[in-house]
Structure 1
């Protein structure tokens, strides 16, 4: 199945994440914390929001993950597969240092960074990307398919 025959946005969603957290995902953060559960499973565009969480830059875990990386704002910077979403199960079961307590954990896998960020407008919840945006991402990741 080629990208041309795929229904617009039906196999992929977008997720907007504030910086520096979006770039941390590219650097091995595999848990994204959200206040509510997400029913979507599958590929997601990793969209960096336009706001920067400056306080997070002081976190040693974040600082280590960001070393040598740019913080692009308002752009799709990668893709990942959302494989699970579960409520916090405590530090004994949610062992990721990125997992926050008393929220839902979106578990990401197969993260792929785009060579060039693609400017885009996102939304706080899961959003359907335009076919044009998906095509721009697929140009940079030609092997990516549902």
Structure 2
């Protein structure tokens, strides 16, 4: 299955209601994609993201979940989302880039450690099998 790396806390935000992923490049890809939480994240990036998210309703949800810059999942697969379009304009509060991947139907998954890559990349199906 295809995956895309996203820095935290943006990956968490996608799984909790952020409906656009901003990129400097367009895609024709449509369909379900795994969300990979990048390993790297500075405290300044963490603060900047939450400052941008003010008023979105996500900050209280993160606080209630006990989410911090120290315990947020990084360096692996954290969920999936459907990419339904790639646009250059959007009314979404989350759209700020050159291109925006419009997202829907986020599904958190149990954390799976995995090394990310640039662009879309493949994750072997056998890693996604959940034990009964």
- Residue from 93, 113, 119 that aligns with 1:119: 113
RMSD (CA atoms): 2.1
| 1:110 corresponds to | 105
Q: Is the 8 A contact 2:3 2:121 kept in 1?
A: yes
Mapped to 2, the partners of 1:54 and 1:110 lie a distance apart of 24
Q: Is the 8 A contact 1:20 1:56 kept in 2?
A: no
| 1:9 corresponds to | none
In the alignment, structure 1 residue 13 sits paired with structure 2 residue 5? no
TM normalised by structure 2 equals 0.80
Cα deviation for residue 133 of structure 1 reads: 2.2
Q: Is the 8 A contact 1:27 1:66 kept in 2?
A: no
Q: Which runs of no fewer than 5 residues in structure 2 stay unpaired?
A: none
**Higher-Rg member (1/2):** 1
Q: Which structure carries more relative contact order (alpha carbon 8 Å, separation 6+)?
A: 2
Q: Is the 8 A contact 1:17 1:46 kept in 2?
A: yes
TM normalised by structure 1 equals 0.73
| 2:29 corresponds to | 40
Q: Is the 8 A contact 1:78 1:113 kept in 2?
A: yes
Which runs of structure 1 show a deviation greater than 6 angstroms over 4 or more consecutive aligned residues? none
Cα deviation for residue 66 of structure 1 reads: 2.9
Mapped to 2, the partners of 1:44 and 1:16 lie a distance apart of 10
| 2:51 corresponds to | 59
Q: How many residues align?
A: 120
Q: Is the 8 A contact 1:45 1:78 kept in 2?
A: yes
Mapped to 2, the partners of 1:54 and 1:75 lie a distance apart of 18
